[in-house]
Amino acid sequence: MDYLRELAAYWADGFDWPAQEAALNRLPRFRTTVGAGGVHFVHARAAAPVGAALPLVLSHGWPDSFWRYTKVIGLLTDPGAHGGDPADAFDVVVPDMPGYGYSDRPTGTPPDSIAVAGLWAELMSELGYQRFAAAGGDIGSGVSRYLALDHPDRVVAVHRMDAGLPVYFGDRADLAPEERDFLDRAARWGTEEGAYAAMHRTKPQTAAVGLNDSPAGLLAWIVEKMRAWSDRDAFTRDEILTNVTIYWLTGTIGSAMRMYRVNGAIPPAQHARRVEVPSGFSLYPADLVRPPRAWLDRMANTVRVTEHPGGGHFAPFEQPFAYVEELREFFRPYR
C-alpha cells in the first residue's frame, strides 16, 4: 500500500504524460479497418535490410498493449545500428488487439484469440505480406499459436514467450511425470493467483465499473500484476504509468478483460491441436508457470527452447536485448 500510495501521488502530480505520448508518437503508428472494427498498429519497416526483410507480427497480452514491444521495435528493424547483423532486420507490425490500447472497443461479443489470429492474417495481407513470422506472449501467445495453426502456408515459424496455462482433457496416465507436475503447478497457481482471471472470465463488466471509476483502483489492478509477473523493479515509474495511462485514457480495461470470457469458451478440440509450423519458446524465471520440454513437444513442432536467466511475463520490456537476440537467432533459418 505504501508503494501504491506513492505511485498514485506521482501519477497525479509528477508524471509527464505529454512527454511519454510524444515518445510513443515517434513510432510509425496507423489505423485501419480489419473485420468489423478499427485497429491501431505500429508498422516499422526495416531500416537497412540486406536482402528482403522478414515481416514479423508481434501480439501482446493483458494488462498491456502495443506498449509491450516499444523497446524492441528499433532493435528489430535496425540491428546494424545496435551491434547486430543487418541481415537480421525485420519489418515489424505490432497491432493493438480489439478492445485494447487505441484499437476500437467491440460493441458486441469481442473476438476470441482464434478470431484475432484471423484479423492479423487479414492485416498482414493488407500490408502486402503473404509470408511472415509471428511471435507473442500471454494472450498474444495464443493468437500467435492460432496464426500458425490456421495459416500454416503463410506463417514461416512462430515464437512464443509461454505455452499458456495448460488445458488437457485426456488421460493423465498418458502424460510424462513432468507434464503431470506442470498441470498440478498450474492448478495451484490458479488457486493462489488466478482470482483476477476468474473475475475476467465470469463478471468482467462488474469489475470494469469500479476500475473505470477509480484511477487508484485501475492502478492497483494493473500494477499488482506488473510487479508479481516480472523481476521486481523491472520498470521505472514512468514506464508503469505509461502503460496504465493508456488504459485510463482509452477506457479499455473492461473491453480488454472481456476477451478472457470469450477465450474461456473456446472448444476443447481447439486446445488439443498441435502446431506443426516450426516453433520456438523463450521461458523466463519470473513468469507464471513454466512448461516442461515434454509438454512443448506434445503441443508443437518445437525446434528451440531457451531458458533465460532473468526476466518475466513482459520480457520484451524487461529484457529487450536478450529478447531481440532470441528472435534474431530463432527466425534466421526461416528467412
Taking CA 38 as the corner, what is the angle to CA 32 and CA 40, rounded to the nearest 5 degrees? Answer: 65
Cβ atoms 178, 154 nearer than 8 A = no
CA 17/CA 237 separation, integer angstroms: 12
Q: What are the residues facing 58 on neighbouring strands?
A: 135
Identified catalytic residue from 100, 102, 260, 323:
260
The beta strands (E) that lie in 15-96 are given as 29-34, 37-44, 54-59, 90-95
Strand 90-95 and strand 54-59: the pairing is: parallel
DSSP H helices, 264-335, are: 268-271, 293-299, 315-318, 320-331
Residue where the block lists cell 510509425: 28
Q: Is there a catalytic annotation at residue 313?
A: yes
C-alpha cell at 122: 487479414
Identified catalytic residue from 64, 112, 138, 231:
138
Cβ atoms 289, 186 nearer than 8 A = yes
Identified catalytic residue from 159, 200, 308, 313:
313
C-alpha cell at 264: 474461456
Q: Is there a catalytic annotation at residue 271?
A: no
Q: Looking at this protein, which amino acid is placed at residue 49? A: P
Q: Is there a catalytic annotation at residue 297?
A: no
Please choose, from the candidates 157, 25, 45, 161, the residue with its C-alpha nearest in 3D space to the C-alpha of residue 102: 25
Distances (CA, A) of 84 to 76, 78, 87, 143, 208: 9, 8, 9, 28, 44
CA 274/CA 328 separation, integer angstroms: 24
C-alpha cell at 12: 497525479
Catalytic residues: 138, 260, 313
